[in-house]
């Protein structure tokens, strides 16, 4: 049977052919039935398009303009997610013979291969993933054994509205469940049956849990600092740091300890990125304190996500070329257009040049959070390849730096990788047999760590630690085949330039033995080290670029997913520009991969913007309550008075249960009086402003 040739009409309306979504022609025929309508002699695309016809923006941006229904606007809102977005576009012309070269075998690269196959209809055997390491997965790692110790350089805190991630993994077969179940099914079953929460989120004074750790501890002025950041436009925040905006009091609050340790922010990191985090996780803010907003996998990130995904891709025919690094890319430049013609690679057989046809696709990772990781153990200090002057020779950062030398459309990599002291932190993975250390963590966990259920419920952070040290135990076993009497514990710290409280060294100067001692000091069990060390294996990972994506930035520092003028190249990962999403999540990696595929293939399909939870009045109200330390915010009692007996009563956070009717009435009256006084002052100030504004207008008229 001759191959079908396909083309898409981006228009959704045409006088002669209403409701056409696309057409399919067959060589030698003038008629082909597609679904429920028949296309006769398909019209030319330009005849279908009009100036008012909607055009696909493959990366939807809900903040770009006001969205409303119009006769020709058949696309859903740009941040709509759900089954309506699950449709599959028809194959594009020539897809059966086109090839794709994916540089980087982490989650972004694997996601690109997945979407090329599922939505782009590209044969799997036409796709090659080129990975510099000897194993796929990138920063999603997890390895080791009980004899030598396990290691995970980092972990992932997951959220239920990671819509691109779950879109992909609902179509990836499950690792343990029978045929027909997906990775998403496994994830939901685990978390629905075993809720996540913490009873020890913040600690201090060598083993004491902060009694009020779920309260943010923000004054009214500090609450306004948060609100004012939410109100600012993104283009007002170029190159600003968090400490440029927030007061010292805010940076010493419970809120900041919860936020910074949960997401790994430093005071000198990007204020813009913090703003984006606040918007994305606004719906989760009331669960920051006890971590009840999070969902975690059964196993580590490699076995949970990488193993089933790479298995599916290989079954589809995708080729994975490990131990091969892409050094540079050649372009054919015609005016403002750039077309990739070759990849320069280095592998075990030396350097070579890989030719790329004009209609082939290249999807490349820019930068790496875990590049040049230095490793240590119980008695060995990790040693970085290079501390100053940028990445070491042969680093995977070299590809992005070479691209940037071609054109400014590829961004400014040195803005992110040029200051290791401000982008580095260290983690330690502890493989523990029964000891006083496990006994102490058992006290701090919501379930016994060996029960297979939620343990600490996320990280426990020590607020008086000079390093800002944190520790966590996830569900055990953390690795398939892990012995039942073995627990894998993960430790990390944010500040790399301060001496410890117990060990008078910086964390990067310490052995694993010394890091365990510092941890035990903060847990109040330093006097039991001799009973702990013999039963604890330690593997260290010092990562010079682990928060490089958080470095202060301005517009143009990061390239777009498809840089201006590129005809067959897209860039993915944590160092590319997206409309509104954050970095340092699996979701953002998958998002960039999806945008890359839809854009390069010009599929008539959008990648939805962030789930619109930040605009939901319910989330705004509960967020205001959480920021106000769990107490009713100014005006909330008045809202209860107006809405308490209406259909909309349920959108309001319940008033404190220990308040009697008379107390509520008194507080409502006090609130009304306060609002009246403040309202009068506001109205008076507004009137004065109007007078000044009118005077300026009159003066301009006279001039």
Residue 690 burial by Cβ neighbours in a 10 Å radius (0-12, 13-18, 19+):
exposed
Pairing of strands 319-321, 127-130: parallel
Nearest-angstrom CA–CA distance, 218 and 196: 25
* Rounded-to-integer distance, Cα 615 and Cα 676, Å: 28
CA distance 119 to 597: 9
Known active-site residue 248: no
Of the candidates 277, 492, 545, 598, the residue annotated as catalytic is 277
Length of the chain: 703
Of the candidates 411, 425, 392, the residue with the CA atom closest to the CA atom of residue 325: 392
Q: Which two tokens stand for residue 451?
A: 């029960």
Strand 31-34 and strand 208-209: the pairing is unpaired
Q: DSSP state, 209?
A: E
Nearest-angstrom CA–CA distance, 222 and 251 = 10
- Using an 8 Å Cβ cutoff, are 143 and 169 in contact? no
Q: How far is CA 315 from CA 114, 127, 291, 308, 459, in A?
A: 12, 12, 37, 11, 37
Rounded to an integer, what distance in angstroms lies between the CA atom of residue 463 and that of residue 477?
A: 29
Q: Looking at the DSSP assignment, which residues form a beta bridge with residue 472? A: 490
- Alpha-carbon span 38 to 535, nearest angstrom: 72
CA distance 49 to 59: 21
Rounded to 5 degrees, φ, ψ at 482 are -65, 135
- Contacts (Cβ under 8 Å, ≥6 apart) of 519: 437, 469, 471, 491
> What is the longest distance spanned by two Cα atoms in the chain?
87
In three-state secondary structure terms, 582 is coil
Residue 606 CA to residue 594 CA, distance in Å, equals 9
Catalytic residue among 57, 93, 157, 225: 157
Give the strand pairing for 469-472 and 460-462.
antiparallel
d(CA 499, CA 520): 16
Helices (H), 328-450: 397-406, 414-417, 436-444
Task: Report angle CA 587, 591, 595 to the nearest 5 degrees.
Answer: 175
What is the C-alpha separation between 245 and 237, in angstroms, rounded? 10
- Name the β-bridge partners of 100: 127, 361
Look-up of token digits 């290079």: 386
CA 612, CA 591: separation in Å to the nearest integer?
Answer: 16
The yes-or-no answer on residue 426 being catalytic is no
Do 356 and 366 touch, CB atoms closer than 8 A? no
Query: Can you tell me which residue has the tokens 């049956």?
Result: 193
Which residue, among 653, 671, 411, has the nearest Cα to 553 in the 3D structure? 411
Asked whether the beta carbons of 4 and 586 are under 8 A apart, the reply is no
User: What whole-number distance in Å separates Cα of residue 535 and Cα of residue 538?
Assistant: 10
Question: Cβ-count burial of 211 within 10 angstroms (0-12 exposed, 13-18 middle, 19+ buried)?
Answer: exposed
Q: What amino acid positions are annotated as catalytic residues?
A: 157, 277
């Amino acid at each position: 049977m001759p191959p079908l040739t396909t083309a898409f009409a981006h228009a959704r309306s045409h006088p002669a052919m209403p409701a056409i979504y696309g057409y399919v022609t067959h060589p030698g025929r003038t008629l082909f039935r597609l679904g429920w309508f028949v296309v006769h002699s398909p019209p030319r695309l330009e005849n279908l398009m009009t100036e008012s016809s909607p055009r696909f923006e493959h990366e939807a941006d809900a903040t770009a303009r006001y969205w409303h229904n119009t006769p020709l606007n058949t696309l859903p809102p740009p941040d709509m997610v759900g089954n309506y977005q699950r449709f599959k576009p028809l194959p594009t012309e020539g897809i059966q013979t086109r090839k794709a070269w994916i540089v980087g075998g982490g989650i972004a690269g694997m996601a690109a291969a997945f979407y090329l196959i599922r939505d782009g209809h590209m044969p799997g055997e036409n796709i090659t993933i080129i990975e510099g390491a000897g194993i796929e997965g990138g920063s999603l790692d997890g390895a080791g054994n009980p004899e030598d110790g396990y290691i995970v350089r980092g972990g992932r805190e997951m959220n239920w509205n990671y819509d691109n991630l779950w879109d992909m993994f609902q179509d990836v077969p499950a690792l343990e469940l029978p045929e027909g179940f997906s990775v998403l099914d496994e994830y939901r079953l685990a978390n629905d049956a075993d809720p996540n929460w913490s009873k020890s989120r913040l600690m201090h004074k060598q083993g004491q849990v902060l009694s009020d750790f779920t309260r943010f501890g923000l004054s009214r002025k500090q609450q306004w600092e948060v609100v004012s950041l939410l109100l600012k436009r993104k283009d007002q925040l170029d190159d600003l740091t968090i400490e440029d905006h927030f007061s010292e009091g805010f940076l010493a609050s419970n809120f900041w300890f919860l936020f910074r340790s949960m997401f790994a922010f430093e005071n000198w990191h990007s204020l813009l990125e913090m703003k984006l985090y606040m918007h994305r996780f606004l719906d989760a803010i009331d669960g920051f304190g006890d971590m009840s907003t999070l969902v975690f996998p059964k196993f580590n990130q490699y076995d949970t996500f990488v193993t089933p995904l790479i298995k599916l891709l290989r079954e589809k025919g995708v080729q994975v070329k490990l131990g091969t690094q892409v050094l540079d890319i050649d372009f054919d430049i015609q005016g403002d257009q750039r077309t990739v013609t070759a990849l320069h690679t280095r592998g075990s057989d030396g350097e070579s040049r890989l030719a790329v046809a004009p209609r082939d696709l290249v999807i490349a990772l820019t930068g790496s959070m875990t590049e040049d990781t230095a490793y240590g153990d119980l008695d060995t200090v990790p040693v970085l390849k290079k501390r100053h002057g940028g990445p070491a020779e042969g680093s995977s950062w070299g590809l992005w730096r070479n691209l940037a030398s071609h054109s400014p459309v590829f961004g400014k990599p040195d803005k992110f990788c040029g200051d290791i002291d401000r982008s580095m932190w260290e983690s330690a993975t502890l493989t523990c047999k029964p000891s006083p250390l496990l006994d102490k963590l058992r006290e701090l966990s919501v379930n016994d760590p060996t029960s297979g259920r939620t343990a600490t419920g996320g990280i426990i952070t020590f607020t008086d630690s000079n390093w800002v040290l944190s520790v966590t135990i996830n569900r055990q076993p953390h690795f398939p085949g892990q012995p039942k009497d073995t627990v894998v514990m993960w430790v990390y710290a944010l500040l790399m330039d301060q001496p410890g409280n117990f060990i008078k060294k910086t964390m990067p100067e310490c052995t694993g033995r010394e890091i365990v001692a510092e941890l035990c000091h903060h847990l109040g069990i330093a006097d039991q080290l001799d009973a702990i060390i013999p039963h604890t294996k330690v593997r260290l990972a010092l990562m010079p670029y682990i928060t490089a994506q958080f470095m202060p930035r301005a517009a143009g520092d990061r390239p777009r997913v498809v840089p201006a003028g590129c005809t067959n190249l897209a860039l993915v990962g944590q160092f590319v520009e997206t409309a509104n999403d954050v970095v340092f999540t699996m979701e953002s990696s998958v998002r960039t991969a999806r945008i890359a595929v839809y854009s390069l293939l010009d599929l008539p399909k959008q990648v939805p913007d962030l789930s619109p939870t930040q605009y939901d009045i319910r989330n705004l109200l509960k967020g205001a309550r959480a920021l106000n330390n769990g107490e009713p915010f100014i005006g909330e009692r008045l809202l209860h008075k107006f809405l308490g007996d209406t259909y909309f009563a349920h959108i309001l956070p319940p008033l404190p249960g220990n308040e009697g009717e008379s107390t509520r009435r008194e507080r409502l009256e006090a609130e009304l009086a306060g609002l009246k006084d403040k309202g009068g002052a506001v109205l008076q100030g507004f009137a004065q402003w109007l007078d000044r504004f009118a005077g300026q207008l009159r003066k301009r008229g006279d001039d």
